[in-house]
Amino acid sequence: MRVITRTCAVALAAFLLGVGALGPALGQQDLRPAFRVRLQFARAGGIFDPAKWQYTSDWFVYPNVFNWLLRWNPGPDPKELQPDLAEKYAMSSDGLTFTFTLRKGVQFHKGFGELTADDVVFSYQRQMDDPKLSFYEAMSNIKSVEALDKYTVRITLKERDGSFLWTIVSYRPGIIVSKKAVQQLGDGFARAPVSTGPFEFVSLTPQGEVIVRAHDAYFRGKPSVKQITFVHIGDENTAAAALRRGDVQVIWTRGNPDVVKLLREDPKIHTVRVIEYYNLFQTQFSPRFKPGQDVRVRRALAHAIDRRVIAKALPGLDEMADVLRPPQLFGGSNDVPTYPYDVNKARALLREAGFPNGFPAVLMVQNREPETTVGEILVSQWKAAGLDVKIDVLDATAAFDRRRKGDFDITISATARPGDPHLFFWDVFHSDAVPPQGSNFFGYRDADALIDAGRITVDEARRVQIYKALQRKLMTDLPIIPLFYRHYELAMTAQVKSMQPGAFSMFWGETILVQR
Amino acid sequence: MIPYITRRVAAAAVQLIVVLVITFGLVRLTPGDPVTAYLSRIQSETSVSKQYVEQVRRQLGVDQPVAVQFGLYVGRVLRGNLGISYTQSEPVSRIITSQLPYTLQLAFAALLIELLIGVPLGVYAATRRGRFADYLATTVATVGYSMPRFWTGMVLILVFAVGWGLFPVIGVGEPGRPLDVLHHLVLPALALGVAGAAYVARMTRSSVLDVLGEDYVRTARAKGVPEPRVLRGHALRNAFIPILSVVGVSFGRALGGSAIIETLFGRVGIGSLLVDAITQRDYTLVQGTILVFAIGVFVINLAVDLGYAWLNPRIRYT
């Protein structure tokens, strides 16, 4: 009996000890789901050192791994800057000095310790010192970056820049990395980055998948997903099929109408329409294309475009652009001349410009949607106005090469510049932004003074006035014809309760809420 | 046989040099260069300085005259160095080595499907010549041959993956889990192999029909040998010799077709790698990948030629 009792006691003790040991393990079991997400829109370039950034597809992953001092608000329209690693900042009265106060206790991934002002100084300084890095040029207006103490950083500019916070601090150049990790890993940092974001980088697999795992010490709280695997799916139809089968949980589409219709009709899928108002598709004219030099011809072509036809052919593109930057964005305005559809007016303007019988022209477009469909519509509408227009469809590189050399008549191009208006207006209209520096393919040079004034003014109200005046001038001179804003369809399986769509190829994994 | 193999390898070396020259020239004849491709990727999103563009051009070595670039490239290849990828900043040989197994997996699986479907279908049609079954098999083969692989793949995805949920749509499976890899391989291999199976079926049918008309088959039948034995023992073994030559062609087609199928099924491999490399004007990667494709086709054709001797001892290599 005693033996039995002793045996039972030992067994019970062992059981309790076992449960005791197992308990924490069971309690720690991570029940959060792991998601697979379509990498937007190309194979991963594999460069995850922000200072060496080259690929949009990689940028898609960045907001999950890295932080900035300030960041754009998650969502399709970045309208405001939020505190990120800096809990507050102050600008000097002359607009040249910015002082950032860092959050305390922010932890780097993989045990690389606490973020300090040294890491911020290092992240900026390395890009200011090395011309081989991607944002060396962008950093050229920074005079100095100093750590005033462990949690305070001061950045001093050479000249005032009203766009500085949007274009540098909260944008691609302003990502903060771990100084210790960069020094320790060297070139290997690009494949094993260390930062402070909601997910820590795990690997870029030989299959081209990028895996990130929840960083539970993230200063905004634990992510609701334990792991995200970014996969490349080249074909839109395949991506939709993979989502419907549950192989992936989130995809972006380029707005292919058939795919969008299919996804919207599937009860297991929910979709969110994302319009990027800062991503403008436009027609540009070559400086060598003689008829395009006459503003009456450009206005005639603008009047000949019936945007309703485009919206009907490509649902999702019904937010047509008849202004350059809509008023819902900072610095946007619709107080500008517009060119509503009026084919008779188009013909009259052509006659006035000395082209009563039109002229021959070739519209060069890139071989992807929606450019090709929109291109075909433009050709038919310009033909109706009396022009002899043909379409030339080329792959992205060939089209870009010819745009750069001015070897085209008219083309459709896209310019995406979220955040501060200076980025867009400089890139498309400044005389310094002719290729290869920017996208001023037309070679327009009559608005430099206003564009430069917009940049160096720091008073926001004054800047708004400058940009209004600038847009009135641009829409009068019409060096480009605005067409439509980029539209994406974000589609998710029922497992994803909600998610903030990212602005400008950003995927905000931390905003995912999971359906329990 | 050794002198024969040596001659074939020497001839292949010349062919590979021709492939190398043509590829080198063709990629440079396409409009744009790696720097343009790079700029086209980023310029809709960010601005770059002239100095930066020049620096990238120097870094990639495309600021040199084409003749110099060619000389440097040939020199490197002769030393077994395929160069550094412009877009991935890694040795081309390492990139290809990491992706090649997935393409070989797919190509061999497709070849297997071609043979497993094509040969029985061809034999069945041949042994029922002029009957309904023959017309049916021939029609099926013609339809299969005419279907574009991309379309076949899409139909397979919609029916077997989305509709019935039997197979995954994308990916290559988890390495180290053979069943998972196989699960991911079925649909792409079918999409790639169906058209080839139709081709093999047509070749098999005509080859078997030829053999069935031979004197030795007639003699066997006259001696009262049962028809299945005539087929197995006399007809098929001889009919397989021309079919074997189809295998070489089929493998080449499967390798070529992998570009479309890998893209469609979101698979990695040197097919989709080549498509991306061409789009991005990654000269070194395009050249390296095509060289590997050419070597693959050469090796399989040499293996086929040597297989002749095994099947038919009358064949002598001179």
**What's the complex ipTM?**
0.80
**Banded pLDDT at B235 (limits 50, 70, 90):** confident
Residue A242 with chain B: CB contacts under 8 Å: 168-170, 266
pLDDT, mean over chain B: 86
* CB atoms B44 and A416 under 8 Å: yes
DSSP A126-182: HHHH-TTSTTTTGGGGEEEEEEEETTEEEEEESS--TTHIIIIITSGGG-B--HHHH
Measured between CA atoms, the residue of chain A closest to residue B55 is A132
Looking at residue A260, its pLDDT comes to 86
Nearest to B98 by CA among B109, B88, B108: B88
Percent of the residues in chain A that have a pLDDT greater than 70, as a whole number: 93
Q: What is the mean pLDDT of residues A103-117?
A: 97
* CB atoms B41 and A56 under 8 Å: yes
Closest by Cβ to B40, choosing from A396, A416, A427: A396
- To the nearest whole angstrom, how far is the Cα of A436 from the nearest Cα of chain B? 6
Task: Please determine, for residue A181, whether its predicted confidence score (pLDDT) is greater than 80.
Answer: yes
Measured between CA atoms, the residue of chain B closest to residue A136 is B52
Closest by Cβ to A234, choosing from B55, B154, B263: B263
Least confident of A206-210, A455-459, B3-7, B209-213: B3-7
Closest by Cβ to A137, choosing from B44, B49, B59: B49
Q: What is the mean pLDDT of residues A79-108?
A: 95
Task: Please determine, for residue B2, whether its predicted confidence score (pLDDT) is greater than 70.
Answer: yes
Nearest to A363 by CA among A398, A389, A387, A401: A389
Task: Please determine, for residue A89, whether its predicted confidence score (pLDDT) is greater than 80.
Answer: yes
- The rounded distance, in Å, linking the Cα atoms of A193 and A211 is 12
Task: Please determine, for residue B318, whether its predicted confidence score (pLDDT) is greater than 70.
Answer: no
- To the nearest whole angstrom, how far is the Cα of A397 from the nearest Cα of chain B? 5
Is the minimum CB–CB distance between A341 and chain B shorter than 8 Å? no
Q: Answer with the residue of higher pLDDT: B280 or A111.
A: A111
Q: Are B23 and B291 in contact (CB under 8 A)?
A: yes
Residue A56 with chain B: CB contacts under 8 Å: 41-42, 45
**Banded pLDDT at B136 (limits 50, 70, 90):** confident
Distance of CA B92 to the CA centre of its chain: 20
Closest by Cβ to B162, choosing from A231, A241, A417: A241
* Distance, first Cα to last Cα, chain A: 51
- Residue A267, helix vs strand vs coil: coil
Q: What is the mean pLDDT of residues A384-407?
A: 91
Residue A398 with chain B: CB contacts under 8 Å: 30-32
- Bridge partners of A284, per DSSP, are A411, A480
Q: Answer with the residue of higher pLDDT: B299 or A324.
A: A324
Task: Please determine, for residue A160, whether its predicted confidence score (pLDDT) is greater than 90.
Answer: yes
Q: What is the mean pLDDT of residues A104-115?
A: 96
* CB interface of A with B, residues 118-147, below 8 Å: 131-132, 136-137
Residue A247 with chain B: CB contacts under 8 Å: 168-171
- The rounded distance, in Å, linking the Cα atoms of B192 and B113 is 9
Percent of the residues in chain A that have a pLDDT greater than 90, as a whole number: 66
* CB atoms B87 and A237 under 8 Å: no
Looking at residue A18, its pLDDT comes to 45
Percent of the residues in chain B that have a pLDDT greater than 70, as a whole number: 95
Q: Answer with the residue of higher pLDDT: B157 or A131.
A: B157
Nearest to B25 by CA among B93, B73, B82: B73
Measured between CA atoms, the residue of chain A closest to residue B265 is A238
* CB atoms A235 and B47 under 8 Å: no
Looking at residue A28, its pLDDT comes to 60
Is the minimum CB–CB distance between B276 and chain A shorter than 8 Å? yes
Q: Answer with the residue of higher pLDDT: B279 or B163.
A: B163
Q: What is the mean pLDDT of residues B254-282?
A: 89
Looking at residue A27, its pLDDT comes to 47
- The rounded distance, in Å, linking the Cα atoms of B111 and A163 is 59
**Banded pLDDT at A131 (limits 50, 70, 90):** confident
Q: What is the mean pLDDT of residues A104-129?
A: 97
- To the nearest whole angstrom, how far is the Cα of B31 from the nearest Cα of chain A? 5
Nearest to A332 by CA among A402, A244, A418, A205: A418
Looking at residue A5, its pLDDT comes to 45
**Banded pLDDT at A318 (limits 50, 70, 90):** low
Looking at residue A25, its pLDDT comes to 45
DSSP A423-474: HHHHHHH-GGGSTTTSS-TT---S-HHHHHHHHH---HHHHHHHHHHHHHHH
Looking at residue B6, its pLDDT comes to 84
Task: Please determine, for residue A226, whether its predicted confidence score (pLDDT) is greater than 50.
Answer: yes
Q: What is the mean pLDDT of residues B203-225?
A: 89
Residue A439 with chain B: CB contacts under 8 Å: 43-44
- To the nearest whole angstrom, how far is the Cα of A291 from the nearest Cα of chain B? 26
Count how many residues are written for chain A: 516
Is the minimum CB–CB distance between B103 and chain A shorter than 8 Å? no
Q: What is the mean pLDDT of residues A408-428?
A: 91
- The rounded distance, in Å, linking the Cα atoms of A198 and A219 is 8
- Residue A282, helix vs strand vs coil: strand
**Secondary element (H or E) of residue A25:** helix A2-28
- The rounded distance, in Å, linking the Cα atoms of B6 and B21 is 23
Residue B87 with chain A: CB contacts under 8 Å: 45
Looking at residue A316, its pLDDT comes to 67
Nearest to A123 by CA among A100, A105, A89: A100
pTM over 0.90: no
The CA angle B6-B12-B15, to the nearest 5 degrees, is 150
Task: Please determine, for residue B281, whether its predicted confidence score (pLDDT) is greater than 50.
Answer: yes
Task: Please determine, for residue A504, whether its predicted confidence score (pLDDT) is greater than 80.
Answer: no
* CB atoms A397 and B281 under 8 Å: yes
Looking at residue A4, its pLDDT comes to 45
**Banded pLDDT at B44 (limits 50, 70, 90):** low
* CB atoms B48 and A436 under 8 Å: yes
Nearest to A47 by CA among B295, B42, B310, B110: B42
Task: Please determine, for residue B309, whether its predicted confidence score (pLDDT) is greater than 50.
Answer: yes
* CB atoms B40 and A399 under 8 Å: yes
Is the minimum CB–CB distance between B312 and chain A shorter than 8 Å? no
- The rounded distance, in Å, linking the Cα atoms of B143 and B136 is 10
Looking at residue A22, its pLDDT comes to 43
pLDDT, mean over chain A: 89
Closest by Cβ to A238, choosing from B59, B157, B172: B157
Task: Name residue B60's amino acid.
Answer: L
The CA angle A486-A489-A490, to the nearest 5 degrees, is 125
- Give the max Cα distance, chain B: 87
The answer for residues whose C-beta is within 8 angstroms of residue A516's C-beta and 6 or more apart is none
Residue A401 with chain B: CB contacts under 8 Å: 31-33, 36, 40
Cβ contacts below 8 Å, chain A against chain B, sum to: 134
DSSP A100-116: EEEPSSPBPGGG--B--
* CB atoms B161 and A132 under 8 Å: no
Looking at residue A94, its pLDDT comes to 92
Is the minimum CB–CB distance between B215 and chain A shorter than 8 Å? no
* CB interface of A with B, residues 23-62, below 8 Å: 42-43, 45-47, 54-56
Residue B31 with chain A: CB contacts under 8 Å: 394, 397-398, 401-402
**Banded pLDDT at A17 (limits 50, 70, 90):** very low
Joined tokens for residue A12: 């019970």
Residue B280 with chain A: CB contacts under 8 Å: 397
- To the nearest whole angstrom, how far is the Cα of A149 from the nearest Cα of chain B? 33
* CB interface of A with B, residues 279-298, below 8 Å: none
Q: Angle A460-477/A448-456 helices, nearest 10 degrees?
A: 160
Q: Answer with the residue of higher pLDDT: B22 or A302.
A: A302
Task: Please determine, for residue A233, whether its predicted confidence score (pLDDT) is greater than 50.
Answer: yes
